[in-house]
Structure 1
Amino acid sequence: MYNKMASIGLALLFLMLYTGTCYGGSRRFLTDFLQEFPTPGTGPYFDSTIPSNITGLVGKNVHLVCKVKNLGNRTVSWVRHRDIHLLTVGRYTYTSDQRFEALHSPHTEEWTLRIRYAQRKDSGIYECQISTTPPIGKFVYLSIVEPITEIHGGPDLFINKGSTINLTCVVKFAPEPPPQMVWSHNSEVINFDSPRGGISLVTEKGRLTTSRLLVQKAIQSDSGMYTCAPSNANPISVRVHILNEHPAAMHHGISSIQHQPPNLLLLVSAATLLVPYIYQKIRRKFDGAIGIRC
């Protein structure tokens, strides 16, 4: 049965080719026909090793890669699902937004959608689509993020006098670890070799870059605004308050309070003595009112 249908199909194919030749359109017909005719054996399919979740940075270029095996005569397109907008077909770009561009090197299996100067609004679902019948596609999930700088415990920190100021600055979502982490105090870059001494910095670079500023034996002049400024991310500030606590003075204050309560005791004693007298006065007025009423 299958061989019979195949024979009929081939016969129709040659007949149509011959008809097309009569009208001078055989080449155009052959191209259009093969575009839709399925490839014998295995058809095109996506390389599953290519990531489907992509994270990009605001202002940077983003590449969405689609790798197709056995593409044959099909074409590969990129579609944005937010507005069902056709962005690219093959090596051609079909959008007025010049930030989007189709990239493909001949004789390779990768079809790339490049987004220049990515914006937060570019986040969403994109589909790499093959022009089979019906079309088959692969979803790519794009998230555009901005580098984030944080100082633990901010925006205000309260430190006891004589304690160690420990400020930890963390940089997230940076395209690479910041080459520099600059700390300043009240708008002046901190000098780690200053006569004050006791100031140190420990920085650990990686996917999350952490910079820890340590100021030992805090004094009143150490209070104020501290700013952490990564070289490739936004700066962040925290205000440090130095508390002047004197345990001896606090103890003295408690002692003086303990010696002063006798004045309060005198007031309580006087009130206790007056209560019966006031009660008797109210009672007599109440009894008199009852007598008049009777």
Structure 2
Amino acid sequence: MDCSVLCVLVFMVLRKVSSEPWGERRKHEPTFLQTPTNITVNRGEIAVLKCHIRNLGPKVVVWHKGTQDVPLTIGKTIFEQENQIDIKFQQISEDDSNWDLFIKDVQPKHAGTYLCQVTATKLYTHYVTLHVLDNPVTVNEKLTLTGTKYVNQGETIRLMCNVTGVPNMLDGVDWFFQGEPIVTMASYWRDRTSILKHIEGYKYYSELIIDHSSLQDMGMYLCRGPNLKIDSIRVDVLSAGKPIVYRRGSDTGASYSHASGSYSVSVSYLTYIVTAIVIALLLGTYDGSSCEELSVHMGLFIPKDDLRR
């Protein structure tokens, strides 16, 4: 790196800090929140070095490796040349922010002590020691999608896409609804949809959360991971007049509760279930589901109040 460029960046950091009023600097000195300070990963995995800061204000975060003079990152700018370093910034609250350092395809050479530093009235430093095991872990590649299948209108839909066996999953997964990409900032999804991501070695988790569900949210959701691996799940949203049926008791001699009360297994109910099976067979959707799942499907077509109990 050109030393003159680095000097200019350092000068800008120091100037930004020194321009703060003295009283404000003393009142809001930055502090590091508790995070792991010893990290052990296998060769080839992603190492995540956490640095969570309170009262950072306008000050800048710098990541160093202890044995190197040139910083790895200054703010969101990366100076590492091998394209193995990434910085993930997240504003948790007005006062708290995360500045996590990601090292892709970690190797034994990456082992050592790393410094997350903030320059204020003095130099604040958070130390993280990285240990790298030389034996790579072999994990079968797999993608699974689980979560809410039935939800009442207005409730929250939660879907979890879990990818295992894929190293360096920094690019994440793609979410689709009815064949169209889910973009959280699009007008339909904005202010009620979020995607949370979490990495643990060879495991990657992406959670799709949709608040205030509507009937228009009913349909097929799909998660697409690396190597075009996909999994899908159908979510049914029930209107306020057709609540989910919850089962109580054991499999034998059980009774069923409904929004308007409880009722026993009767001839009318058996007729209801048989009708549900017939409709499911005609639609090609019956796969041996339990009675309450059939009731949910049936409720989409015939209100249970229309049947004589």
TM-score calculated relative to the size of structure 1 = 0.38
TM-score calculated relative to the size of structure 2 = 0.36
The structure with the larger Rg is 1
In terms of fraction of residues, the more helix-rich structure is 1
